[in-house]
Amino acid sequence: MFIPLFTLCGISSLCSSTFYFYLYTFVFYLDTMSSKPSIPKGTRDFSTEEMLKREYIFESIKQIFRLYGYQPIETPAIENLPTLLGKYGEEGDKLLFRILNSGDFLSSLTDDDLAKREYSKLSSRICEKGLRYDLTVPFARYVVQHRDEIVFPFKRYQIQPVWRADRPQKGRYREFFQCDVDVIGSDSLLNEYELIRIIDDIFKKFRISTVIKINNRKILAGIADYIGESGRIIDITIAIDKIDKIGIGNVKSELSSKGLSDEAISSLQPFLQLSGDTSDKLASLSKLLFESEAGMKGITELQALFAYIESSPLTCDVELDLTLARGLNYYTGAIIEVKSKDVSIGSICGGGRYDNLTGVFGMEGVSGVGISFGADRIYDVLNQLDLFNDLKGSSTEVLIVNFGENETKYALKILDQLRGMEVKSELFPDAAKLKKQLSYADSKKIPYIIIAGEEEISKNTITIKIMSSGEQKSMPLDKLSSFVNEEIKRS
Amino acid sequence: MFIPLFTLCGISSLCSSTFYFYLYTFVFYLDTMSSKPSIPKGTRDFSTEEMLKREYIFESIKQIFRLYGYQPIETPAIENLPTLLGKYGEEGDKLLFRILNSGDFLSSLTDDDLAKREYSKLSSRICEKGLRYDLTVPFARYVVQHRDEIVFPFKRYQIQPVWRADRPQKGRYREFFQCDVDVIGSDSLLNEYELIRIIDDIFKKFRISTVIKINNRKILAGIADYIGESGRIIDITIAIDKIDKIGIGNVKSELSSKGLSDEAISSLQPFLQLSGDTSDKLASLSKLLFESEAGMKGITELQALFAYIESSPLTCDVELDLTLARGLNYYTGAIIEVKSKDVSIGSICGGGRYDNLTGVFGMEGVSGVGISFGADRIYDVLNQLDLFNDLKGSSTEVLIVNFGENETKYALKILDQLRGMEVKSELFPDAAKLKKQLSYADSKKIPYIIIAGEEEISKNTITIKIMSSGEQKSMPLDKLSSFVNEEIKRS
């Protein structure tokens, strides 16, 4: 309303910098006046509707983790910085949220220390603690710290938020949940197979069609050996990973620009042209890699894993994908990634085997394998495909209309009866206008309304309004329990 | 092993400062060698066993919140500091965990700013965000920020961790969970009544005997009016609160030391000597406070609340307690506190009515009432009274022994059948020695072991070992499902 005034009152008469100063001040003023409190960028509030959907996701995942013998642990949100630093690369260190020491955090610093303004060094001296960045490093820390109490193989799951000072963007948050499931202290490929089954069970439950892509780090090592570039495994895989997007020609130029010889690049050719089903591909690979010990080990592992998979009642598609490079710096065996077939949103689950997760904390030689479910992306996929329709009954099922003090006693009796039968129910707390009470029920999507006014009370009856059909039923109060059993519990 | 060497090799020949330098370095070295990673003081890891107990607490509480029509929300762990500062008193501000700004956090500071070393001022300039300190302020912020989407009365619950830089001690943590349930936007006393019912249902479910103590801020205001010290309500109540501990005489001297006149103190006498049951006490109070508008309002409110309570099937004891002063700086009506009768541990639940929770964020006149359950204390009470015996079936129910590759296919078939029947089950991943596998089952408290070796496979049978009795049963594989239904599901 005010802004046009500026436009009318002769802007040209104001020197432009003064004008912008006033405009800025004015807009700032407006902003303060109307300002609602807000939350930090990259964080989210979850409304009751969102929470019910999120709980459905977490509960479904948990239930299946437990069915497979995995059990929960939790670790604190706050870890000592030395636990976190150096575990996520240089970039990761920058993305850690650090917690300022309490009290006089400057006390250990000299004036000189301050004057130098070396913020990165200073941050480690004024902060001893940081927020959890993922669940993997805290899990490794947990295993080492509690190794004397843990019985191995240790099958644990962990569902907790993590924090990263990343630049927020669509689908990327500074606070988000991870759902990790890992078994540590067992080399058996049965663990990989069981994780594939867990993935299948979870997405079957969600009715999301998926494809599970599987690779093995040892085969990638074998390929690098084969082309005589054993040290370049990461460059090679990252380039191969782009074939679908940029084509073979561009992949080759990328590899060349990274310093791979023409000879090495041309000897890659057979790996880019594998065809047939998984067993055909594995057979071709063993012909190529027979001289690489790592490569052959990887092939044997995949053959064993696919043998389990083929004789199981899996509903997902599973395919070998040599271009799968995720987490290449720590995975040592299987690499797993899951994509939705119907929604293009990146991977919704992923993981692999690591042979030395706990080594960094001084406990060597413990092999593990695990996967992590992306709850936020699964939420988006379910929303986009409109698959959140199992949530009936998770919010209030019956509202009793409040007609005032005289009717309250009767209403409370009904309420006790409903709750005694485990029916989520409430009495509107105020004797507000009927319209207001009905619109409350409507917005909370409450499917049944009970009306028990003077007339009902005098005849010891109730009137039930079924919101989906608009139908109203009158019945003696003592028929309520059969209505609950026959109608409410069944719908 | 090394330390004695120092002792033997002639310490006196070393100049003492050099010696201490070496000793320090050596001890530091030893420390690094043997050091397990650790977590910040006041924080906790939760093991699988602790998690199952905690989840039982949270799930039971949630289920009852929902039965009463309350629904969940969640807010971020990180809030903007202006949202938190000034809400918890000066002491609270000091106990907030602040998060260091990312990147060059010094950039907005001059050399002068730094040289002054005013750590408290500086902390607000290098930190924009802090960790949630409780669930009440974020809830108020949530309500104001989302007021256009919320339908009032808004019945929400929230179960999340909070962080306080308090000095850790037994039972006091720097990271702990709160379970809050509030209704906002309704003045009706039915809300207070329903919260009392929730408390009763929850502790009945936990089998903890409790007493619910109820007071009303308006009565306390009436008493302060009555003795002519309207401004001193907090001092008065804090002193009265100590009667049981220090006796009436000492309470009077404390009030006198706070500057209350002898006249005011002696006119307190009748309030310290109320006797009879709740309705007797309320009757005496109305005789004393008939001139105080606030006091009479408080009495009417309590009479109405106790009328609801008396006609309800409550199992807890409920009593009026005029000395209940908790949260006196923000409660405006009912004040509620719950104690365990069998374990002396302070209050395990508490809350009250507040008339202006959201005022501080610019939204006036919204009344609410809520309570908060202390999950950590409830955990301790349940542990101490050995009441965690509902947890059967929450961890793995069946372990299948792994005899090696040849037997695995048969084992996987059994596993699929068990999980298909929702039996939490696992196949030991490695063909380890039987003793190791049985001790794994034992430590995970798995009640049934299935043995399916060469002999069982040849006869298409299984052997089930029931750990509680040591009994072994052999049966055809196709009898497994009846064993599940008749034995596993029933126990």
User: pLDDT tens digit string along A120-164?
Assistant: 999 999 999 999 999 999 999 999 999 999 999 999 999 999 999
Chain A residues whose CB is inside 8 A of the B54 CB are: 74
Mutate to test the interface with B, among A48, A154, A443 (most CBs of B within 10 A): A48
- Which of B362, B384, B406 is a domain's end point? B384
Mean pLDDT of A330-347: 93
Is B457 domain-assigned?
Answer: yes
Counting one residue from chain A and one from chain B, the pairs whose CB atoms sit within 8 A come to 285
Is B111 domain-assigned?
Answer: no
A370 and A419 share one domain:
no
What's the total number of domains in chain A?
A: 3
Chain A residues whose CB is inside 8 A of the B392 CB are: none
Of all residues in chain A, the one with the smallest CA distance to B418 is A67
Of A259-263, A479-483, B288-292, B296-300, the least confident:
A259-263
B367, B183 contact by CB (below 8 A): no
Length of chain A in terms of residues written: 491
C-alpha–C-alpha distance, residues B66 and B59, integer Å: 10
Q: Where are the alpha helices (DSSP H) in A290-374?
A: 293-310
The pLDDT-based confidence of B7 (bands split at 50, 70, 90) is: very low
Cβ contacts of residue A366 below 8 Å, gap of 6+? A143, A152, A184, A185, A356, A357, A358, A359
Q: Where are the alpha helices (DSSP H) in A127-242?
A: 136-145, 190-206, 217-226, 233-240
Q: Would the pLDDT of A9 be above 50?
A: no
**Residue-level pLDDT at B309:** 96
A370 and A469 share one domain:
no
Strands A334-340 and A347-354 turn out to be antiparallel
**A29-to-A33, B289, B446 alpha-carbon distances in Å:** 6, 48, 65
Q: Using the beta-carbon criterion (under 8 Å), do B80 and A106 form an inter-chain contact?
A: no
Mean pLDDT of A73-101: 94
**Residue-level pLDDT at B142:** 97
Closest partner residue to B149 (CB to CB) among A44, A47, A107 is A47
Is A237 domain-assigned?
Answer: yes
Terminal CA-CA length for chain B: 53
A365 and A403 share one domain:
no
**Residue-level pLDDT at A486:** 95
Chain B residues whose CB is inside 8 A of the A192 CB are: none
Chain A nearest C-alpha distance from B265 (Å) = 40
C-alpha–C-alpha distance, residues A113 and A366, integer Å: 42
Q: Give A423-474 pLDDT, tens digit per residue.
A: 999 999 999 999 999 999 999 999 999 999 999 999 999 999 999 999 999 9
Please choose, from the candidates A78, A89, A99, A113, the residue with its C-alpha nearest in 3D space to the C-alpha of residue B101: A99
Q: Which domain holds residue B214?
A: 48-96+133-384
Of all residues in chain A, the one with the smallest CA distance to B152 is A440
Q: Using the beta-carbon criterion (under 8 Å), do A425 and B37 form an inter-chain contact?
A: no
Q: Give B443-476 pLDDT, tens digit per residue.
A: 999 999 999 999 999 999 999 999 999 999 999 9
For Cα atoms B316, B322, B323, give the angle at the middle one, nearest 5 degrees. Answer: 100
Mean pLDDT of B249-275: 88
3-class DSSP state of A428: coil
CA dihedral A292, A297, A303, A309 (to 10 degrees): -140
Give the pair of three-digit tokens for residue A69: 């013998």
B213 and B295 share one domain:
yes
The amino acid at residue B65 is F
Q: Is the peptide bond before B153 cis (omega within 30 degrees of 0)?
A: yes
Q: B100 or A111, which is more confident?
A: B100
Cβ contacts of residue B245 below 8 Å, gap of 6+? none
Task: Indicate the helix (H) or strand (E) that contains A19.
Answer: helix A16-33
Q: Give A280-292 pLDDT, tens digit per residue.
A: 999 999 999 999 9
C-alpha–C-alpha distance, residues B235 and B240, integer Å: 9
C-alpha–C-alpha distance, residues A224 and A222, integer Å: 5
Q: B258 or B420, which is more confident?
A: B420
Chain A nearest C-alpha distance from B209 (Å) = 20
Give the sheet arrangement for strand A98-100, strand by strand: A78-80, A127-131, A98-100, B98-100, B127-131, B78-80
A199 and A327 share one domain:
yes
**B268-to-A196, A359, B255, B329, B334 alpha-carbon distances in Å:** 72, 68, 11, 21, 21
Task: Indicate the helix (H) or strand (E) that contains A370.
Answer: strand A368-373
Mean pLDDT of B321-331: 79
Q: Give A198-227 pLDDT, tens digit per residue.
A: 999 999 999 999 999 999 999 999 999 999
Q: Would the pLDDT of B43 be above 90?
A: yes
A440 and A317 share one domain:
no
Please choose, from the candidates A212, A223, A190, A206, the residue with its C-alpha nearest in 3D space to the C-alpha of residue A308: A190
Chain A residues whose CB is inside 8 A of the B44 CB are: 76
Q: Give A344-356 pLDDT, tens digit per residue.
A: 988 999 999 998 8
Q: Using the beta-carbon criterion (under 8 Å), do A78 and B43 form an inter-chain contact?
A: yes
Chain B nearest C-alpha distance from A65 (Å) = 9
Q: Give B427-445 pLDDT, tens digit per residue.
A: 999 999 999 999 999 999 9
Is A42 domain-assigned?
Answer: no
Q: Would the pLDDT of A246 be above 80?
A: yes
**Residue-level pLDDT at A269:** 87
**Residue-level pLDDT at B36:** 81
Q: Would the pLDDT of B9 be above 60?
A: no
**Residue-level pLDDT at B83:** 96
Cβ contacts of residue B34 below 8 Å, gap of 6+? none
Q: What is the CATH number of the domain that holds B256?
A: 3.30.930.10
The pLDDT-based confidence of A390 (bands split at 50, 70, 90) is: low
A373 and A432 share one domain:
no
Whose tokens are 């197979």? That residue is A193
A13 and A75 share one domain:
no
**Residue-level pLDDT at B50:** 95
Of all residues in chain A, the one with the smallest CA distance to B304 is A405
Is B106 domain-assigned?
Answer: no
Residue B102 phi/psi, 5° resolution?
-75, 160
Q: Could you count the other beta carbons within 10 Å of the beta carbon of residue A452? A: 24
Q: Could you count the other beta carbons within 10 Å of the beta carbon of residue B31? A: 9
Closest partner residue to A75 (CB to CB) among B45, B76, B422 is B45
C-alpha–C-alpha distance, residues A131 and A81, integer Å: 8
**Residue-level pLDDT at A274:** 86
The pLDDT-based confidence of B491 (bands split at 50, 70, 90) is: confident
Q: What is the mean pLDDT of chain A?
A: 89
A20 and A158 share one domain:
no
Mutate to test the interface with B, among A61, A78, A195, A410 (most CBs of B within 10 A): A78
Predicted TM-score (pTM) of the model is 0.89
Mean pLDDT of B265-291: 91
Q: Is the peptide bond before A153 cis (omega within 30 degrees of 0)?
A: yes
Closest partner residue to A186 (CB to CB) among B128, B165, B429 is B429
**Residue-level pLDDT at B1:** 31
A131, A62 contact by CB (below 8 A): no
Chain B residues whose CB is inside 8 A of the A99 CB are: 97-100, 131
Please choose, from the candidates A444, A447, A386, A379, the residue with its C-alpha nearest in 3D space to the C-alpha of residue A55: A379
3-class DSSP state of A399: strand
The amino acid at residue B95 is L
DSSP-derived secondary structure for A229-296: -GGGHHHHHHHHTTHHHHHHHHHHHHHHHTT--HHHHHHHHHHHT--SSHHHHHHHHHHHHTT-HHHH
Give the sheet arrangement for strand B347-354, strand by strand: B71-72, B154-163, B175-184, B368-373, B347-354, B334-340, B210-216, B317-320
Of A70-74, A470-474, B111-115, the least confident:
B111-115
C-alpha–C-alpha distance, residues A142 and A159, integer Å: 15
Give the pair of three-digit tokens for residue B363: 């939204």
**Residue-level pLDDT at B17:** 43
Query: A15-29, A52-66, A378-392, B79-93: which has the highest mean pLDDT?
Result: A52-66
Q: Would the pLDDT of A190 be above 60?
A: yes
Q: Using the beta-carbon criterion (under 8 Å), do A47 and B77 form an inter-chain contact?
A: no
Q: Would the pLDDT of B102 be above 60?
A: yes
Give the pair of three-digit tokens for residue B214: 């109820």
Q: What is the mean pLDDT of chain B?
A: 89
Give the pair of three-digit tokens for residue A131: 């927020």
A326 and A290 share one domain:
yes
Chain A residues whose CB is inside 8 A of the B149 CB are: 47
The pLDDT-based confidence of B81 (bands split at 50, 70, 90) is: very high
Provide long-range contacts, Cβ within 8 A and 24+ apart, for B451-454: B451/B401, B452/B400, B452/B401, B452/B403, B452/B407, B452/B410, B452/B411, B452/B414, B453/B401, B453/B403, B453/B407, B454/B403, B454/B406, B454/B407
Q: What is the CATH number of the domain that holds A410?
A: 3.40.50.800
Chain B nearest C-alpha distance from A440 (Å) = 7
Is B63 domain-assigned?
Answer: yes
For Cα atoms A464, A467, A471, give the angle at the middle one, nearest 5 degrees. Answer: 60
C-alpha–C-alpha distance, residues A391 and A373, integer Å: 21
**Residue-level pLDDT at B392:** 65
Whose tokens are 């196949």? That residue is B427
Chain A residues whose CB is inside 8 A of the B422 CB are: 67
Q: Would the pLDDT of A299 be above 90?
A: yes
Cβ contacts of residue B104 below 8 Å, gap of 6+? A119
A83, B37 contact by CB (below 8 A): yes
Length of chain B in terms of residues written: 491
- Which of A344, A361, A384 is a domain's end point? A384
B97, B163 contact by CB (below 8 A): yes
Terminal CA-CA length for chain A: 51
Q: Using the beta-carbon criterion (under 8 Å), do B36 and A145 form an inter-chain contact?
A: yes
The pLDDT-based confidence of A12 (bands split at 50, 70, 90) is: very low
C-alpha–C-alpha distance, residues A414 and A395, integer Å: 18
**Residue-level pLDDT at A46:** 97
Q: Using the beta-carbon criterion (under 8 Å), do B98 and A99 form an inter-chain contact?
A: yes
Q: Would the pLDDT of A29 be above 60?
A: no
The pLDDT-based confidence of B30 (bands split at 50, 70, 90) is: very low
Q: Using the beta-carbon criterion (under 8 Å), do A100 and B102 form an inter-chain contact?
A: no
Closest partner residue to A37 (CB to CB) among B68, B83, B155 is B83
B378 and B402 share one domain:
no
Q: A196 or A172, which is more confident?
A: A196
Is A457 domain-assigned?
Answer: yes
Of all residues in chain B, the one with the smallest CA distance to A442 is B151
Q: Would the pLDDT of A327 be above 90?
A: no
Strands A448-451 and A461-466 turn out to be antiparallel
Percent of chain B with pLDDT over 90: 72
The pLDDT-based confidence of A392 (bands split at 50, 70, 90) is: low
Q: B216 or B346, which is more confident?
A: B216
Q: A489 or B327, which is more confident?
A: A489
Closest partner residue to A190 (CB to CB) among B151, B416, B427 is B427
Chain B nearest C-alpha distance from A238 (Å) = 29
Whose tokens are 């080399």? That residue is A187
Q: Could you count the other beta carbons within 10 Å of the beta carbon of residue A424? A: 22
Is A125 domain-assigned?
Answer: no
A366 and A427 share one domain:
no
- Which of A335, A355, A384 is a domain's end point? A384
Q: Would the pLDDT of A34 be above 50?
A: no
Of all residues in chain A, the one with the smallest CA distance to B361 is A37
Q: Would the pLDDT of A303 be above 90?
A: yes
C-alpha–C-alpha distance, residues B304 and B353, integer Å: 15
C-alpha–C-alpha distance, residues B238 and B98, integer Å: 32
